[in-house]
Chain A
Amino acid sequence: MSIDPVTLQVIGGALHTIAREMAYVLYRMSFSSIIRESEDLGAGLFDRSFATLCESDNTPLHIGSIPGYLRGIEASMTTPWREGDVVIHNHPYFGASHSPDIAVVVPVFYEGRHIGFAGNTAHHVDIGSATPGLIVDIQDIFGEGMLLKAVKLYEGGVRNETVWNYLANNSRVGRQLQDDLGAQIASAQLGARRFQELYATYGAETVEAASAELMAYTERMLRKRIAEIPDGDYVAESWLDDDGRNRGVRLPIKVCVRIRGDEAEVDLTGSSPQVPTAFNVPFEGSTKVACYVAFRSLLLDTFTASVPIPANEGSFRPIRVTAPKGTIFNPIFPTAASARFSQCNRMIDCIIRALSPVLPDAAIAGSSASLSFVAYSGLRKTSNDYWVFIEVNEGAYGGRPRSDGPDSIDNLMANTRNNPIEDLGMHLPMICDRYELRDDVECGAGRFRGGIGVVKHQRLLEGGWLTHEAERHTDKPWGLFGGHDGAEGRVDIFNHADPAGTTEPQHAKISGVVMKPGDTMAFYSPCGGGFGDPLERPAATVLDDVLDGFCTMGYARSAYGVVIDDAMRIDHEATLALRAEMAARAAAR
């Protein structure tokens, strides 16, 4: 059935609104900060063959992951779908993005026919993993905690108390886990009702034709952009610090982007073999999704596009992803694969770098391209119950062809919200002592400078435990087209009573660290590389940077060739001379 362009727009808008509404209910209602503040979630409607009809756009890595879950659920079901079922699932080798992201799925029936699914995914604070809230250095997938494989929380509308009881007793924060699942159920059931209303209004055939055309539309738009890139093989490589256990053993990341006509292949062959810790990436639920994020961001940039492109599976079709089995991007069961974000972000950074020669107006310099995920935990003094708090720390962007790299912001595939410092202090035995831009590095000079990362100090008032998943302590984000490199990340732990005397530098990935009362983790995010020759940055802009403290006077001179006098004015003559000299030196090299 073909569909007229007017009805298509009307149904497209309705689908978009449903996904937004589902996500809204989920994050407004939920209890853990990783869902309610960070919006680490996704929600949408799917047809009977798991194609996405619509999906919310809260966090990029969730977008496009739910069909994988649905395929995994279908393959694992022990009883048939019934109206009133609510299914949960998190198995990384059956489509899940990683085990803490639990999907809640309800089948949707219309006039007795099973027409599809409403579902969502959300990151849960604790699923009973080896260390509270977060895991890096563990033996295998079973150290990740509960593996839920197509488990029915409700069967035909009847609540399965046995399962709820099991869940409550296998998480350090059982109450929160149950209430967050409650929020997910409310969101999925709302989606199911809206799905039925849509069919009732427009009829099954029209809705299905519209969703097929919406996907074809997104696919067409992306193919058009890919076709504009000259055919060829474009490569980039980088490395990761370590696997969180074997210190000093760097892990290579190799990316080859093959452009052929209006199709692209991302070949990750040559990247590190799988590692013995949880620092591996589930292929279906994360590796592939990350590649799609890279191409959507590069080629269908929503800021520069004149029209909104629907977020759906159409953007996946022109892209093929290759990663050999047994490698870090395609591990083999029962290898653990929970700490997977930094590898994905670095792969995206490499895809951008690989294509920079042919996309000089779209590519940007190297970004922090990692993720800092911290789990703080402890036992409450009065009740001896666990509290667990997980936090995503931000990064910074590389300089861009027309603007500076944004500072202190979630990077590439991450897009969460931070937790209010005051909310944290009121409810947990923690206090934030510092949260501002880094001032310990000078880096990222360029025609457009790289973004500056943050420094954040979190103090545990009563002690507890800490696990941190991060990257890029040994490799600077790269400058592009003459821009200078950015800066590595850094983590220190010290005690509040004597910071100078107790500071100990840490690896990026640390597991189950025992924290004494007053112990503080200081996180420094990597800073982005610069874009273009720093000597081309207008001197007045450099002066503004100095006045605002984004750049020191010394760095203004050494990297930008801008001389500023004590009255904070540009010495134009000296600047001209210095810039000429620096340009001549560069030309001679």
Chain B
Amino acid sequence: MASIGVDVGGTFTDLVLERDDDGPGGRRVFVHKVPSTPADQSVGVVDGILAICRIAGLDPKAVRRVVHGTTVATNITIEKNGAEVGMLTTKGFRDLLHIARHKRPHNFSLHFDVPWQSDPLVKRRNRMPITERIMPPDGRVETPIDLDEVRAAVREMKARGVEAVIVCFLFSFLNDAHEKAALAIVREEMPEAFASASSEVANVIREFERFSTTAMNAYVGPRTARYLRNLEKRLRDEGMDAELRIMQSNGGIGTVATCSERPVTILMSGPAGGVIGGRWAGAMSGVGDVITIDIGGTSADIGVIADGAIRIMNPRDTVVGQHPVLAPMLDLDTIGAGGGSIAFRDEGGAFRVGPRSAGAMPGPACYGNGGSEPTVTDAHVVLGRLDPERFLGGDMAIDPALAEKAVREKVAEPFGMTLEEAALGIVTIVNANMALAIRSNSVARGFDPRRFSLMPFGGAGPLHGVALAEAVAARDVIVPPAPGITAAMGLLATKLAYEFTRSTPTLVSGPALGDFAAANATLADLTALATERLAADGVAPEAMLFERVAECRYQGQGFELRTPLPEGPITADNAAAIVASFHAVHERDYGYRFDDTQVEIVTLRVIGSAEVPPLTWPELADAASPDPTEALLYVRPTTFDDRQRLDTPRYDRDRLKAGHVVPGPAIILQHNSTTLVPPGFTARIEKAGNIRIARNQQPSAEVAS
């Protein structure tokens, strides 16, 4: 039996396979890469699965589970080729998706684009107003729904060829009767359509965000569902009966059925695998506080894991393609900085790196595909940090002369710098941009980076690891075993997880305190929903875990913060504990608390989960001595950030063993990644397979400079 993780990226599809028993060479874990097939990702996925099974000497029928990280839903939002969506909405409010929050995306611009108007998720012609009215604050019906109007509107949409229909009424989070009644008619008249109601997709207060989420779900829905079912079928056609699971944006895995119904939960499927992989690799070193940075060609994803727990983004910040999406997502910051980021001198004379990228085509100048602009990768080549004959394990030829030419002509000469200064400048600026993003995702949220290990991955990550750790004052650096495929490993290292939310405004402090019946009823309902979903996945009741969270604010604020709830129902006795933990969260996030202001629960959230045994990485053999000379490849001059050009040994990671100590300056090479160990730092190879890099202890007390 075996499990496979398969992560689809823009260029490569990465795979990891773990067998229960020993395979060829006595190994249990295998990794592989195949080219991605953007036209239909499932082709590459199935090819990759069959290929890695061959490598692992395994009959594909023996695969028990396939966990998939996919960009299929995300790509629909980027390529803007989603479904034709129809919308039934409260009369008088036809344009809420068009108005959005009436804020411009740019302050100083006359020519700005308004994506929700120029590329709407639902065209205005397909937004059908329906007579109905539910009133706050209790959800009473002021105007009953006109079901004849609903039927006529649905028939009209059907005649137009609408593929997906959403029902979005105001105040449905208080009373969903109207949405349910309309949805029933949609299902009756258009049984083939992808149909959903806003109270099902995101049962929370704030009409625009709820409607936008529902619209996005429908926009990506039909194609995503088709893709997932098609992939399932292809696996069956190959004779496999493995269960297929999908990585969701919250870092948990879901079934094909649930993800097809709520594809809005897998919009961040790809990057989520990286953060989970980071948590997994940190745990192998016994480290629970990890900042991950996944550096790709055009962008870098930054995540923070504190005390071994992944963090979920505030729902006010979850935006996809400028459309708010209220689906739980790992707290990830993406910035436009990567190996392909282009360096240039702008017309005002400033030294810029990115966000423009050379992408995969033409790629960095050194690729020789016609790119003439210098990229971060070219800078590393100029500095002697990427050896031409070893690039991608020697699978790809690069030309250092082209890198030098680009850096010289586009940066060094315009600024009057030496070639080396220019290349170092490129690296310094891109590192500074990444360090700022790390800071704003950690320090700015109240986490002290000195407690954290920085974990760089993605092919280019370990080249920047030490510099970034120094810039943000992180404790040390952990380079995971296979930095190029960390996201795929994360797929085999997470659990099933489903989230359910409902807004139930409830005061938990102050004089008017007392009635928690509605909140407790909501918690019971949400727990029942989570139980039902896990049971449908075959999870036994004793294996089910439930986390309960209250999204709280000081009464009158507009933004909530996640606050953990105590066990059992909310009572007058434990309300004080909820209030105290909210004060603490508020102080951590904002540096201030309002001790005598009332605290209000806005939305309740239950996360039902079940553990899946995580990937076991084979331990390394013990080294005979700390001296790593047995893994030495050759020595070559390399320039480090402090401008020193030093003869620097290259070591083969595959030959490094547990206990080897590699003093900087050094470079550790492996098939798809290069780790830089600057002078003054030492890398230690751990039994579990990670490399830990730390600054050398100063022999005497440091003198303040």
Which of A17, A217, A403, A436 is within 8 Å of B94, CB to CB? A436
Residues of chain A with a CB closer than 8 A to B170's CB: 421-422
A217→B350 contact, CB < 8 A: yes
Interface locus among A236-244, A300-308, A325-333: A300-308
Does B58 sit at the interface, judged by CB under 8 A?
A: no
Mark interface residues in A402-440 (1 if CB within 8 Å of B CB, else 0). Answer: 110011111000011110111101110001011111000
Q: Are B429 and A422 in contact (CB under 8 A)?
A: no
Complex Cα distance A134/B627, Å?
76
Across the interface, do A301 and B111 meet the contact criterion of CB distance under 8 Å?
yes
Q: A400–B111 contact, CB under 8 A?
A: yes
What B residues does A417 contact at CB under 8 A? 101-103
Q: Evaluate contact between A303 and B109: CB separation under 8 angstroms.
A: yes
Given A303-B109, A394-B102, A409-B114, residue A10 in contact with residue B594 (CB < 8 A): no
Binds A, one of B205-213, B382-390, B449-457: B205-213
Asked if A36 and B557 make an inter-chain contact with CB atoms under 8 angstroms apart, the answer reads yes
Smallest beta-carbon distance B332→chain A, Å: 17
Pick the contact of A304: B99, B109, B590, B591 (CB < 8 A): B109
30 sampled A-B residue pairs with Cβ under 8 A: A5-B350, A5-B415, A9-B350, A25-B590, A29-B559, A29-B592, A31-B556, A32-B556, A37-B101, A63-B107, A182-B592, A183-B592, A186-B590, A224-B348, A296-B108, A309-B348, A352-B110, A364-B110, A400-B111, A402-B111, A406-B112, A408-B99, A415-B104, A415-B107, A418-B99, A420-B206, A421-B170, A422-B207, A434-B92, A437-B95
B98 touches A57 (CB 8 A): no
CB <8 Å contact, B556 and A179: yes
A sample of 8 more A-B contacts (CB under 8 A), given A13-B436, A28-B557, A420-B208, is A9-B432, A14-B432, A36-B558, A63-B107, A186-B592, A302-B106, A362-B111, A437-B98
- Per-position binary interface string of chain B over residues 310-338, scored 1 when its CB falls under 8 Å from any chain A CB and 0 otherwise: 00000000000000000000000000000
Contact A418 B556 (CB under 8 A): no
Which residues in chain B, 334-364, are within 8 Å of chain A measured between CB atoms? 346-353, 356
Indicate whether A547 reaches chain B with its CB closer than 8 angstroms: yes
- The 5 closest A-B CB pairs, nearest first, are A186-B592, A425-B136, A36-B558, A5-B351, A434-B92
B644 at the interface (CB under 8 A from A): no
Q: Does chain B have a CB within 8 A of A30?
A: yes
Q: Are A13 and B592 in contact (CB under 8 A)?
A: no
Q: How many residues of B contact A (CB 8 A)?
A: 70
Measured between C-beta atoms, what is the minimum distance from A77 to chain B in Å? 26
Query: Which residues 80-108 in B have Cβ within 8 Å of A in the complex?
Result: 92-96, 98-99, 101-108
Give B117-133 interface residues, CB cut-off 8 Å to A: 117-118, 123-125
Q: Contact: B136 with A426, CB < 8 Å?
A: yes
> With the chains together, A298 CA to B112 CA distance in Å?
12
Assess the B102–A9 pair: CB atoms within 8 A. Answer: no
Judged by a CB distance under 8 angstroms, whether A164 is at the interface is no
B101 contacts A418, CB within 8 Å? yes
User: Closest B-chain residue to A58, C-beta based?
Assistant: B107
Over the window 31-42 of chain A, the binary record of Cβ atoms lying under 8 Å from chain B Cβ atoms (1 yes, 0 no) is 111001101000
Residue numbers in A under 8 Å from B574 (CB-CB): none
Check: A567 CB closer than 8 A to any chain B CB: no
Instruction: Give the chain A neighbours of B111 by CB distance below 8 A.
Output: 301, 303-304, 362, 364, 400-403
The reply to whether A303 and B348 contact each other, CB–CB distance below 8 Å, is no
**Which residues of A have CB within 8 Å of B586?**
29
Q: Residues of A contacting B428 with CB < 8 Å?
A: 6, 10
- Is A322 engaged at the interface, CB distance under 8 Å to the other chain? no
Residues of B within 8 A of A549 (CB): 124-125
Residues of A within 8 A of B (CB): 5-6, 8-10, 13-14, 17, 20-21, 24-25, 27-33, 36-37, 39, 57-60, 63, 175-176, 179, 182-183, 185-186, 189-190, 217-218, 220-221, 224, 293, 296-298, 300-304, 306-307, 309, 311, 352, 362-364, 394, 397, 400-403, 406-410, 415-418, 420-423, 425-427, 431, 433-437, 454, 457, 547-550
B597 within 8 A of A: yes
A434 lies within 8 A of B591 (CB) = no
Task: Flag if A301 contacts B351 (CB, 8 Å).
Answer: no
B112 lies within 8 A of A303 (CB): yes
Point out the residues of chain B lying under 8 angstroms from A409, CB to CB: 99, 102-104, 114
Q: Mark B482-510, 1 if CB is under 8 A from A, else 0.
A: 00000000000000000000000100000
Most chain A beta carbons < 10 A, residue from B113, B347, B415 = B347
A297 to B112, CA, bound (A): 10
Determine if B346 and A307 form an interchain contact, defined as CB atoms under 8 angstroms apart: yes
Assembled-state Cα–Cα distance A434/B91 (Å): 8
Q: Are A418 and B171 in contact, CB atoms less than 8 angstroms apart?
A: no
Check: B651 CB closer than 8 A to any chain A CB: no
CA gap between A9 and B352 in the complex, in Å: 8
Task: Knowing A60-B107, A408-B102, A426-B205, say if A31 contacts B557 (CB, 8 Å).
Answer: yes
Chain A residues near B118 (CB, 8 Å)?
403
B517 at the interface (CB under 8 A from A): no
A406 and B351 contacting across the interface, CB-CB below 8 Å: no
Contacts of B117 in A (CB 8 A): 406-407
Whether B99 pairs with A60 at a CB distance below 8 angstroms is no
Please name all residues of chain B whose beta carbon is closer than 8 Å to the beta carbon of A435 when the two chains form the complex: 92-93, 95-96, 99
Q: Which residues 23-63 of B have a CB within 8 angstroms of A?
A: none
Once the chains bind, are A185 and B592 in contact (CB under 8 Å)? yes
Closest B residue by C-beta to A183:
B592
Max chain B CB contacts within 10 Å: which of A9, A179, A182, A403?
A9
Could you say which residues of chain B place their CB within 8 Å of the CB of A13? Answer: 432-433, 436
Q: Which of A185, A364, A422 contacts B205 (CB 8 A)?
A: A422
The distance in angstroms between the C-alpha atoms of A58 and B104, with both chains bound, is 10
The chain B residue sitting closest to A434, CB to CB, is B92
User: Given A5-B425, A37-B558, A57-B107, is A189 in contact with B102 using a C-beta cutoff of 8 Å?
Assistant: no
Distance A296 CA – B106 CA, assembled complex (angstroms): 12
Give every chain B residue within 8 A of A302 (Cβ-Cβ).
Answer: 106-109, 112
Q: Are A24 and B444 in contact (CB under 8 A)?
A: yes
In the complex, A57→B170 CA distance in Å? 32
Q: Mark B271-285, 1 if CB is under 8 A from A, else 0.
A: 000000000000000
Decide: A431 and B350 in contact? CB cutoff 8 A.
no
Which A residues are CB-close (under 8 A) to B432?
Answer: 9-10, 13-14
Which of A31, A400, A457 has the most chain B CB atoms closer than 10 A to its own CB?
Answer: A31
Smallest CB gap from A306: residue in B: B346
A307 and B347 CA atoms in complex are apart in Å by 9
Which among A60, A352, A410 is the interface contact of B108 at CB below 8 angstroms? A60
Report the Cα distance A407→B352, complex, angstroms: 35
Residue in contact with A548 in the complex, picked from B124, B347, B439, CB distance below 8 Å? B124
From B113, B349, B425, A6 is in contact (CB under 8 Å) with: B425
- Cross-chain contact B440 with A21 (CB below 8 angstroms): yes
* CB-CB nearest in chain A for B208: A420
Select from chain A the residue with minimum beta-carbon distance to B92: A434
With contact pairs A24-B444, A25-B591, A301-B111 given, residues A420 and B205 touching in the complex (Cβ less than 8 Å)? yes
In Å, the complex CA distance between A553 and B109 comes to 33
- Give the complex CA separation of A20 and B443 in angstroms: 13
Whether A548 lies near B125 (C-beta < 8 A) is yes
Contact B444 A21 (CB under 8 A): yes
Q: Is the CB of B425 within 8 A of A423?
A: no
Q: Is the CB of A33 within 8 A of B594?
A: no
* Bound-state Cα–Cα, A221 to B349, Å: 9
Q: Complex: how many Å from CA A551 to CA B108?
A: 29
Contact B347–A221 (Cβ < 8 Å): yes
A408, B349: Cα distance in complex, Å: 38
Closest to A363 in B: B110
Q: Which residues of A contact B135 (CB under 8 A)?
A: 425, 431
Interface bits B418-430 vs A (CB < 8 Å: 1, else 0): 0000001100110
Q: Complex Cα distance A304/B117, Å? A: 18
Partner of A9, one of B109, B113, B351: B351
- The answer to whether A406 and B92 touch (CB under 8 A), given A221-B347, A302-B107, A548-B125, is no
Taken together as a complex, chains A and B put the C-alpha atoms of A31 and B444 apart, in Å, by 21
Asked if B173 is at the interface (CB within 8 A of a chain A CB), the reply is yes
Residues of B within 8 A of A397 (CB): 110
- Kindly state the separation between the CA atoms of A559 and B240 in the bound complex, as whole angstroms: 63
